[in-house]
Structure 1
Amino acid sequence: MASPQMQPSMLSILVTFLCISGTFVFGQYANFNKLELPQGVTGPGSVTFGGLLASGPFTTVTDGRIMKWLGPTLGFVDFAYTSPTRTKQYCDGTTDPDKGPTCGRPLALSYHPVTGLLYIVDAYLGLLVVGPLGGCATQLAGGFKFANGLDIDLLTGHIYFSDASLTYTIRDATQPGFIPDSTGRLLRYEPLTGHVSVLLSGLSGGGGPVVSSDGTFVLVPELGSTRISKYWLVGPKENTAEVLLNTNGNPNKIKRGETPGEFWVATSRVGYMPPTPVILPEGVRFNSDGDVLETVGFVTEFSSNVTSLVVQHEGKLYVGSHFTNFIGVYYN
């Protein structure tokens, strides 16, 4: 392990490498701040914002809670949870994956600004929803091995969500020698009927889908295949999919950008700082035609940790990771 005196010089070498490779963007997001979780809590892998009254951000954490940011004085407080068997004494602060089936493991959030409902995907418990007051979420659809991403079509109310595999669970994915498969799926839940339909199968893992603002297509990332596909919901290509973008790294959750027709995806690729390989977490902004518009490097603040999503809100970038105790905020 490098001594503290060596770490700045090693970081300088890595930043220089990133600049030369053209992946690190200076200037536009020159400032950085942390929204820190309570002591002993980790894994803010998903971030979403409510409306004017709900605010936030809301985030998911490793021990099974959904937490809400109430400003720098109060910080993050409990808002909701997914498992009816969860107890604070048994679960709060845990990082033990074997407690997941009891405590829950929410992985993705999406807020409906009209209804005030917060939709949740839990690795063990599937698709759930909770009202504006929080508390125990209600399960809408279950029976999945590894549910991991979702988004709401604000025009129809349909929920698009993903499960990473038909064979392995989130606990399996953390084991030494783990080999992923290609049995992931894109699914749609219709609130009026409760019906769940399979739209795509055979996906190589999954990050988190996103619906276009005009409701014409869904973008689907594949962690294991370094690609993002476009699944058409309407038009002459309805119910078909095509590859939109081949990414330099493994793409995780996708979120709509603040400019119509633009999106942000969190990616992680392998780089090298001899003699050690390192993970390079990045945020990629792209459009609905698959054109990459911007790439922002996060390695200075997140080190060699995988980031799971990038959310653009009021001009700032909110970056979540399952491996930190904070949400990173980048701004001008």
Structure 2
Amino acid sequence: MAIIWTSKTIAMLPVFTLYLSFSSTLISAVSFKKLPLPAPGPESYAFDLAGHGPRPYTSIADGRIVKYKGPKSGFVDYGYTAPNRSKEFCDGTNNTYLASICGRPLGLGFYLPRKELYIADASYGLVVVGPNGGAATQLATGAEGVPFRLPDGLEVDQLTGIVYFTDASAVYNLSQMNQLFSKGDATGRLLRYDPKTKQVTVLLNGLSAPSGVAVSKDSSYLLVVEAVRSRIQKYWLKGSKANTAEVLLNLTGSPDKIKRTARGDFWVAVTVQTPTLELKGVRITEGGTILETVTFSPKYDTSFITEVNEYKGALYLGSLYPNYVGVYRA
């Protein structure tokens, strides 16, 4: 989920060197691959850790979750979120007004011990697809008497099985994203779903377009992104600060989803509109220190970026519009 920009990406890869020849060597070491999709809009990614190579799952605009089967087969159907979804009517669409009919999965996260794929769907709330794929089971459509309007970011704690997710707004839905940003909406929530009790708990209220959430490796805290306020908050789950939040980092631009790496640090997808448009991945520590910033090449030709997900040395790039998965490798 992100504000819809209109200009095209013309940002160049930042290579800070003193000599042109050395710069050229670095640029030649960067690869960018496009994996074709059956429909546009790879918003988010999940990996099941099975198989002999990276097999990303991604959510696409026509309501499907698709799985990559390798260069010969490409992406194939894995699951879907709308219970009465029609392939004939929905396949290939990128019309946000059809989300209530076709579904629109935005956030993905596997619970690896059970190979269950949890999904934050813009119209159907929190749902889960079983280990064999297929139709999703609806788990929750609201919390504390307030219906979800725009479920967006999602993360599953692999240590506990707890699902953390965001509802970007209590007022605006997916087709009203421009209004959400222009009005500075601050009705979003950070939520917790416990599969054992099947209960949803509100952890934080009053968030301004919470678009992404990530849990630490030791399950002691969450990082939640507020897209409108351009910042990241840290919410403590354990310790003396448990159940409290603090601002961790303010960012330039419009941040979207946040994903933890195998090392324990985090990638944040950020769209920066200056005189030009720059699509960036910002890697940060648990303390909010920026470790690395990557500006993706013009080959990633979309108007904003929703996710940077690192897996086995590659960065998988998300957005609402491209009809391919962008894979960046340095």
Do Structure 1 and Structure 2 share a fold, with TM-score over 0.5? yes
RMSD, matched Cα: 2.2
Question: Residue in 2 aligned with 1:253?
Answer: 257
Match of 2:199 among 195, 199, 208: 195
Contact 1:64 1:104 in 2 (8 A): yes
Matching residue of 1:36: 36
- Report the equivalent of 1:322: 320
Q: CA deviation at 1:19?
A: 6.1
C-alpha contact (below 8 Å) 2:282/2:294 kept by paired residues? yes
- Letter in structure 2 aligned against 1:153: D
Looking at structure 2, the residues matched to 318 and 195 of structure 1 have their Cα atoms a distance apart, in angstroms, of 32
Letter of the aligned partner of 1:31 in structure 2?
S
Distance (Å, rounded) in 1 between the aligned partners of 2:184 and 2:92: 28
Deviation at 1:113, TM superposition (A): 1.4
Query: Which of 173, 179, 190 is matched with 1:169 structurally?
Result: 173
Give the secondary-structure state (helix, strand or coil) at the position aligned to 2:89: helix
Deviations 1:176-209 (A, max 9, x none): 9953411110000011011111101111102110
Superposed counterparts of 1:120-269, under 5 Å:
120-142=119-141, 143-174=147-178, 179-260=183-264, 262-269=265-272
Q: Distance in 2 between matches of 1:317 and 1:242?
A: 28
Q: Distance in 2 between matches of 1:223 and 1:288?
A: 19
Partner of 1:96: 95
- Which aligned pairs between 1:108-123 and structure 2 lie closer than 5 A? 108-123=107-122
Q: Which amino acid aligns with 1:97?
A: T
Structure 2 SS opposite 1:157: coil
Q: CA 1:176–1:147 in structure 2 vs 1: closer, same or farther (change >3 Å)? A: closer
Aligned pairs, how many? 308
Contact 2:172-2:180 at 8 Å conserved across structures = no
Aligned match of 1:275: none
Question: In the alignment, is the contact (CA less than 8 A) between 2:15 and 2:27 conserved in 1?
Answer: no
Give 1:251 deviation, angstroms.
1.2
Is contact 2:164–2:191 with CA below 8 Å preserved after alignment?
yes
Amino acid at match of 1:44: P
Q: Where do 5+ consecutive residues of structure 1 fail to align?
A: 1-9, 273-277
Q: How far apart, CA to CA, are the structure 2 residues paired with 1:167 and 1:212?
A: 30
Structure 2: tracts of 5 or more residues without a match = 1-8, 17-22, 142-146
Q: 2:273 aligned with 1:270, yes or no?
A: yes
Give the Cα–Cα distance (whole angstroms) in 2 for the partners of residues 146 and 138 of structure 1.
Answer: 18
Question: What SS does the corresponding residue of 2:274 show, helix, strand or coil?
Answer: strand
Higher mean Cα deviation, 303-312 or 120-129?
303-312
* TM-score after normalising by structure 2: 0.88
- Quick check: 1:28–1:331 contact (8 Å CA) kept in 2? no
Q: Distance in 2 between matches of 1:47 and 1:153?
A: 16
Distance 2:249 2:75 in 1: 36
Query: Could you say what secondary structure the match of 1:72 adopts?
Result: coil
Aligned to 2:20: none
Q: 1:101 to 1:304 in 2, by over 3 A?
A: closer
Q: Does 1:56 align with 2:55?
A: yes
Match of 2:72, as an amino acid? T
- Cα offsets for 1:148-179 (capped at 9, x unmatched): 11101111111100001111101111579953
| Secondary structure of residue in 2 paired with 1:189 | strand
Mapped partners of 1:314, 1:239: distance in 2: 33
1:173 and 1:33 map into 2 onto residues whose CA distance is 29
Q: Which residue of 1 aligns with 2:282?
A: 284
Match for 2:173: what amino acid?
T
Q: How far apart in 2 are the matches of 1:176 and 1:291?
A: 29
Contact 2:269 2:306 in 1 (8 A): yes
How far 1:279 moved relative to its partner? 2.3
- Higher relative CO (Cα under 8 Å, sequence separation at least 6) belongs to 2
- Within 5 A, what are the aligned runs for 1:10-25? 15=12
